[in-house]
Amino acid sequence: MAKYSQVFFKWSKDGSFKRAWINLLSCNKKLLDLSSAQLDGSHTPVKRGGQAVGYQGRKASKTSNSLFLCDNRGQMLTVSTAQSGEHNDLYDIVKLFKEMIGVLEQSDINCNGIFVNADPGFDSEDLKQVCIDYEIELNVKPNLRNQKKQSDEYRYFDDQLYKRRTKIEHANAWMDAFKALLVRYEKLVETWMALQWLALITLFCRKLKV
């Protein structure tokens, strides 16, 4: 009989957990509130080293960083591949954002016209352009460091809509309720990401009436 760890590693490597999440989301997308979505990054302390690990000064520790997207009620929708902790949220943002939107598209979720709230750390031309490409409305709070470059450019920002961004903070807190995610012990990115997908599956299943 195969051990639990062997099965977990096999399913992590072949993407089974991610596919399970995509199928679950696709079958229950009517439960989502996509009147707006919330984007945020989250650093997780790392204890054993491994892939995608780097020192984060603000945390004063080695971390891994992932981007998350949740709906208007705080239901997590997708997570990006973990990145080394020394990078900020905009590192490789085009690739990672496309990756996250790809999960939604595979779940038959139409992203056209969705309003996405993001904090000033995501105020970049690259992210704005990729949102335009996907016909997504990015509602990002202006970063004061960019004010000089953008002083002559009109930018609309909806501060009332932006208040919905607190939902992603609550969603991240729910993720941290899983001890396996509060501190990263997994050395491989694929097994760490498998735990993330499992958490999304578990949290969503709690909302299902079966």
Residue 160 lies in a domain: yes
This prediction's pTM:
0.92
Is 102 within the bounds of a domain?
Answer: yes
20 occurs within a structural domain:
no
Asked if the structure places residue 23 within a domain, the reply is: no
Residues 111 and 134: beta-carbon distance below 8 Å: yes
Phi, psi of 54 (to 5 degrees): -155, 160
Inter-helix orientation angle 125-133/93-106, to 10°: 30
Give the number of other CB atoms < 10 A from CB of residue 153. Answer: 7
Longest CA–CA separation in the chain, Å? 67
**CB atoms closer than 10 angstroms to residue 174:** 16
Q: Across the chain, how many H-helices and E-strands are there?
A: 9, 7
pLDDT at 149: 59
The amino acid at 19: R
Round to whole Å and give the CA distance between 124 and 126. 5
**If you ran DSSP here, which 8-state letter would residue 46 be given?**
B
- C-alpha 133 chain-centroid distance: 19
Structure tokens at 170: 């609550």
Which residues does the chain have with pLDDT short of 50?
none
The closest alpha carbon to 70, from 134, 177, 164, 195, belongs to 164
Q: Say which CATH number the domain at 169 has.
A: 3.30.420.10
6 belongs to a structural domain: no
**Cα–Cα separations (whole angstroms), residue 71 to 62, 78, 116, 124, 150:** 29, 10, 9, 22, 29
Could you list the residue range(s) of the whole structural domain that residue 154 is in? 33-195
Residue 18 forms part of a structural domain: no
Query: pLDDT value at position 129?
Result: 97
| Distance (Å, whole) CA 118 – CA 141 | 7
Domain-located, residue 10: no
In a domain, 22, yes or no: no
Which residue type does 27 have? C
How many domains is the chain partitioned into structurally?
1
